[in-house]
Structure 1
Amino acid sequence: MLLFLVGADPAMASSVEGVRLWQAPDSLRLVFDLSDGVDHEVFELDDPDRVVVDLEGAELEEALEASTEDTWVEEIRSGRHGDGRLRVVLDMERSVSSKTFLLEPNEEYGHRLVVDLTSESAKEEEQDSLMEVVREAEENQQGENRDLIIAIDAGHGGEDPGARGPSGTHEKDVVMQIARRLEKRVEAAEGMTPLMIRDGDYFVALRDRLRKAREAKADLFVSIHADAFENSRAHGSSVYALSQNGATSEAAKRLAKSENEADLIGGVRLDDKDETLASVLMDLSQTGAIEASLNVGQEVLENMGGVNELHKSDVEQAAFMVLKSPDIPSILVETAFLSNPSEEQRLRSSAHQKKLAASMMSGIRSYFRDNAPPGTVWAEKDFGTAEHVVSNGETLSSIAQDYRVSPGRLRSANGLDDDMLRAGTTLDIPGGS
């Protein structure tokens, strides 16, 4: 528990109105909500490891609290320095380096001071976890051929809640739940390995999402979101790919602008020239990935039409920053409109989340049946060639019996959690046992 106990000086101009901690695998973010900008200094001390934050001319109107549980912070102390500065000291469980920046008010927050703490050992651990996904994909049971790596990106997170529904549902929460359900299906599917880009409630910058997918050599990048619009009657699912030649509609252009502002809300320093140059260079090598993205996006969209109304029947395009990978087919899935009260309630339903994840998985499978990269399990000659479209009254057991495979193998090959089948679903039939 974090507790500030500092007497307020009425002559001071800026007040600390709140504080939040967000722990990611390779970094920790400390955010001060302020009434105005503030001069500040941050430095580290060792033996023991500490981080000191000095705030010039800042006051506290009341005690502030924030949880330090499951973070690198052991304790946070504060007091008034001799020269009048408000000093906050973080007792750390590990050595870290810090960088800090101020953010101007936006639609979500007022003035903020962001303190980002990183650890070299944690960065190495995060890199090891990415490489573990690669190793797992290479060391599948087939021996000679690797698994497909499916990068699953739950949009927003941490400081960036995304859209809010009429009942207060946060986009970052429901898309994480759907992402985990998709992860489970990918993990259960023969010849596939999942990679979760965000595995908890923390902020990941858009370019870092791309970087993680590329470092893990992903074969597909799926970013999951829940749209919002000023008209609460707007409804339906949509799928988007990158465009280099302008948006395909005003709605797509609006959505791309909104999603690209996630970095502003989540908190990213925007004066990094190297990042800007890298973005320009990536734009020059995008054509092949865009074509593949449109193909996989259409497969996913058509399958989602079986569980939710579609907002648009074709994949739309716009300049989404998170889709700008030059070598990975990348799609952004808007599962539904969180701003629509009915769709908000469905998005909160575990049953509907499972259906959405299953429909995305069906689309992914359909795409890779015809477009598997050489050297993968899915590129084997006979893998996934037999298909069966479920008819009314058919059961998993009866279909398994017809094709002389076990129900367990049929369930595993299609990433099914149970034996429930919906008429019209396309099943992959594994080779007989």
Structure 2
Amino acid sequence: MRQILLLLLLLLMFSAIPLWAAVEIAPRGKNPVLLEDVYQQKGVPYIAIEDALDAVGLSGHWNSIKHTFRIRTRRGWAEISPASSFLKLAGNYYPLQKKPRFIDGRLRVTDHFILNQLSLLVGRPIYFRNLDPDSDTPVAEEKNTLEQLFAFLLNKKTKSSGPLVRAVVIDAGHGGLDPGVIAASGFKEKELNLQVAKKLAKQLKMKLGVTIYLSRDGDYELSLEQRLEPASKDDVDLWLLIHAQASLSSELRGVNLFVRSEGVANSLLTEQEINNSVDSSSLKLADQLALSLRQAGIRVNGIYPSPLLYLGRGSLPTVQIELGYLSNQEELLQLQDDNYQNQLVQALFQGIRSYAKQLKGER
């Protein structure tokens, strides 16, 4: 009996320990560096920040007084902390998908940090390969409410009769304790998202007479399940996610449109590969939005597949609209201007109306 209890205790101890993994990292065009001091937790690799920096030619150190890790870049010192969901650089704050974590005595970051924030610090794309992607795959469990919402949305069917667009969900990103991007002036992304979402909702209700579901109508935080819930309604035909972004380069500006990726996470795909990798209904909607924005004189950088959207696959036309860069001072002032917001909203409205007309021609 004591041997059985000892065996169970050992199993519990080892099950709580993160699994080791290995990754390859390098600036694009350089020979990859193999890193083996990597922990895999729930499918997410955690890489020691010092190792990642060394692999891409940067350096940094832990500040024991401020409890932050400082990274030396060409634009000055960047800072991250296990207590913060932001990277700080030159007075700007950039949101992180996951906080850095101390594991086995070392501060570690995820693959998302390396592919996004670290690549911007380096100033070029970074090659990243997880050599053990399935070493910590969670055991499948019975579907919960959130999973049922996913399943419903992934299987929404295009209607063959009735109004072309019956209802639209507009998701104003972030909210409450989650501010999104924070500009150097203190202006928060969550404020812009809600302002534009409300204006677009009003235009669609007044001019198209469609039902509008706002994920939030005030400054409060939502769970993922709460954001998904409006899109699960039977009459919803379009899903728009309103966001803004920031860059370590103050020169970047313009609108970026993201559509659901069909399992493709490489940002360096060819145009044909992008067209083959995204949901076609979402791409048609994004095309019309981009055309209307450009016709209104608003810069659109492009349409991109995003593995980070809530849904990886599905038939509900979904576009994430990044309205501009809060890190660009000129564009920040524009985005805060009521007249420019109205210009953006009018262009988005025209894009949605053009998409509805396109559907009518295809029916």
TM-score (norm 2): 0.51
Q: Identify the match of residue 352 of structure 1 among 323, 327, 340.
A: 340
Structure 1 Cα separation of the partners of residues 224 and 327 of structure 2 = 23
Secondary structure of 1:321 counterpart: coil
Secondary structure of 1:312 counterpart: strand
> Partner residue of 1:318?
306
User: Which amino acid counterpart does residue 356 of structure 1 have in structure 2?
Assistant: L
TM-score by length of 1: 0.43
Distance 1:248 1:311 in 2: 21
- Look at both structures and tell me which one has the larger radius of gyration over its CA atoms: 1
Q: Are the equivalent residues in 2 in contact too, given 1:163–1:338 (CA < 8 A)?
A: yes
Query: What letter matches 1:225 in structure 2?
Result: H
Identity rate, percent? 28
Q: Equivalents in 2 of 1:288, 1:193: separation in Å?
A: 31
Tell me the distance in 2 between the aligned counterparts of 1:364 and 1:317: 19
Which SS does the other structure have where 1:229 is aligned?
coil
Select which of 96, 100, 105 maps to 2:83.
Answer: 105
Aligned-residue offset at 1:247: 3.4
Per-residue Cα deviation, 1:142-188 (whole angstroms, up to 9, x for no partner): xx858610111111111110001221110000111011110110111
State the secondary structure of the residue aligned to 1:172.
Answer: helix
Cα gap change, 1:175/1:373 in structure 2, threshold over 3 Å: closer, same or farther?
Answer: farther
Partner of 2:244: 226
Per the alignment, do residues 227 and 323 of structure 1 end up closer, same or farther by CA in structure 2, a change over 3 Å counting?
farther
User: Which position in structure 2 is the counterpart of 1:300?
Assistant: 289
Secondary structure in structure 2 of the residue aligned to 1:322? coil
- Shift in Å, 1:300: 0.4
> Structure 1 counterpart of 2:287, which letter?
Q
Distance 1:365 1:200 in 2: 27
1:290 corresponds to 2:268: no
Secondary structure of the 1:294 match is helix
Q: Which sections of structure 1, spanning at least 5 residues, go unmatched?
A: 1-103, 112-143, 252-286, 380-433
Query: Does the 8 Å contact 2:277/2:305 carry over to 1?
Result: no
Is it true that 1:247 corresponds to 2:225 in the alignment? no
Between the aligned partners of 1:348 and 1:366, the Cα distance in structure 2 is 27
Letter in 2 for 1:106: S
Count of aligned positions: 204
Indicate the residue corresponding to 1:120 in structure 2.
none
SS at match of 1:169: coil
- CA distance in 2 between counterparts of 1:239 and 1:182 reads 16
Aligned residue number for residue 365 of structure 1: 353
Partners in 2 of 1:206 and 1:147 — Cα distance?
A: 25
Confirm or deny: 8 A CA contact 1:146 1:191 kept in the other structure: no
Q: CA deviation at 1:213?
A: 1.1
Distance change in 2, residues 1:225/1:157 (3 Å): same
Q: Does 1:329 align with 2:317?
A: yes
The match for 1:26 is none
Superposed CA offset, 1:35-89 (max 9, x none)? xxxxxxxxxxxxxxxxxxxxxxxxxxxxxxxxxxxxxxxxxxxxxxxxxxxxxxx
1:342 aligns with 2:330: yes
1:68-83 aligned within 5 A: none
- CA RMSD, Structure 1 to Structure 2 (Å): 3.0
Q: Is the 8 A contact 2:291 2:351 kept in 1?
A: yes
- Could you tell me how far apart the structure 1 residues matched to 2:241 and 2:357 are? 21
CA contact (8 A) 1:150 1:192 kept: yes
The alignment partner of 2:205 has SS state of helix
Contact 1:323–1:331 (CA under 8 A) maintained in structure 2? no
In structure 2, distance between residues paired with 1:201 and 1:250: 36
Preserved CA contact (<8 Å) 1:210 1:323: no
Aligned counterparts of 1:323 and 1:373: Cα–Cα separation in 2: 28
| 1:200 alignment partner in structure 2 | 218
1:370 CA displacement = 1.9
User: Residues 147 and 310 of structure 1: is their aligned pair in 2 closer, same or farther, counting only changes over 3 Å?
Assistant: closer
What secondary structure sits across from 1:336 in the alignment?
A: strand
Alignment partner for residue 156 of structure 1, among 174, 195, 208?
A: 174
Task: Give the counterpart letter for 1:247 in structure 2.
Answer: A
Structure 1 residue 329: Cα displacement: 0.6
Structure 2 CA distance for partners of 1:145 and 1:371, relative to 1, 3 Å: closer
Query: In the alignment, which residue of structure 2 is the partner of 1:34?
Result: none
Sort the Cα spacing of 1:228 and 1:146 in 2 relative to 1 into closer, same or farther, 3 A: closer
Secondary structure in structure 1 of the residue aligned to 2:208: coil
Unaligned runs of 5+ in 2: 1-81, 87-94, 101-161, 270-275
> What's the CA shift for 1:238?
1.2
Secondary structure of the residue aligned to 1:356 is helix
Query: Match for residue 116 of structure 1?
Result: none
Q: 1:246 offset after TM fit, Å?
A: 2.0
